[in-house]
C-alpha cells in the first residue's frame, strides 16, 4: 500500500513539475513580449530612419498621463513631477517632429493647444495642492480631447482613469 501511495505522489510531483515548467516558459515568453512592447514605446517613435510614428508617441503620453493621475491623487508629488516631466518631453518631441497627419499639422496644434493647460498642470504639481492638481489635470485632458477633435480623431477620447492599469507600481508616497 505504501508503495502505491509513493508512486501516486511521485506521479503527481512529476506532473506538477512539468506543469510548472510549461507555465514558466509561457510566462517567460509573455514577459519577453511585454519587454519588447515597452522598449518599442520607449523608443524615439521612429520605426524606420526618417519615419515618425505618431501613435507610438501618443501611447507613451497616455501611459505617462495615466500614471500622473494616480501619483497626484496619492499626493506623491515627487512621482507626479517625474511623470509631468516625461509628458513634457513627449509633447516637445511631437512638436519638434513637425508631424502632419491627413493634412493636419498635429505638431502645431499640440504646441498651440497644450502650452497653457500644461503649464498650469506643471504648476499645480509643483505646488502640491490636490484640488488644483485635479482641476488642471481635467483641463489638460479636455485639451487633449479637443486636439483629437481638431485633428480629425475625435473618436479618441480620454477620461479620468478609473483603475490603476499598472498595478505593479506603487503610487503612494513612501515616508
Q: What is the pLDDT of residues 80-100, one digit of tens each?
A: 999 999 999 999 999 999 999
Pairing mode of beta strands 100-101, 104-105: antiparallel
Q: What is the pTM of this model?
A: 0.71
CB-CB neighbours of 36 under 10 Å: 10
Chain position carrying cell 524606420:
48
| Nine-digit cell string for 45 | 517613435
Rounded distance between C-alpha atoms, residue 80 and residue 65, angstroms = 10
Least confident of 1-5, 99-103, 106-110: 1-5
Question: With contact defined as beta carbons under 8 Å apart, do 106 and 91 qualify?
Answer: no
CA 74 to chain centre: 17
46 strand-pairing partners: 52
Amino acid at each position: 500500500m505504501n508503495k502505491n501511495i509513493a508512486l501516486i505522489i511521485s506521479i503527481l510531483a512529476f506532473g506538477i513539475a512539468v506543469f510548472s515548467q510549461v507555465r514558466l516558459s509561457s510566462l517567460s515568453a509573455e514577459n519577453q513580449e511585454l519587454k519588447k512592447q515597452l522598449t518599442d514605446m520607449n523608443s524615439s517613435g521612429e520605426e524606420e530612419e526618417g519615419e515618425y510614428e505618431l501613435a507610438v508617441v501618443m501611447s507613451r503620453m497616455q501611459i505617462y498621463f495615466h500614471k500622473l493621475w494616480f501619483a497626484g491623487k496619492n499626493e506623491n508629488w515627487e512621482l507626479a513631477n517625474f511623470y509631468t516631466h516625461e509628458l513634457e518631453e513627449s509633447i516637445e518631441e511631437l512638436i519638434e517632429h513637425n508631424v502632419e497627419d491627413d493634412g493636419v499639422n498635429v505638431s502645431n496644434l499640440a504646441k498651440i493647444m497644450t502650452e497653457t493647460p500644461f503649464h498650469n498642470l506643471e504648476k499645480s504639481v509643483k505646488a502640491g495642492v490636490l484640488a488644483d492638481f485635479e482641476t488642471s489635470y481635467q483641463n489638460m485632458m479636455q485639451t487633449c480631447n479637443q486636439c483629437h477633435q481638431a485633428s480629425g480623431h475625435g473618436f479618441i477620447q480620454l477620461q479620468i482613469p478609473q483603475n490603476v492599469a499598472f498595478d505593479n507600481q506603487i503610487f503612494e508616497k513612501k515616508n
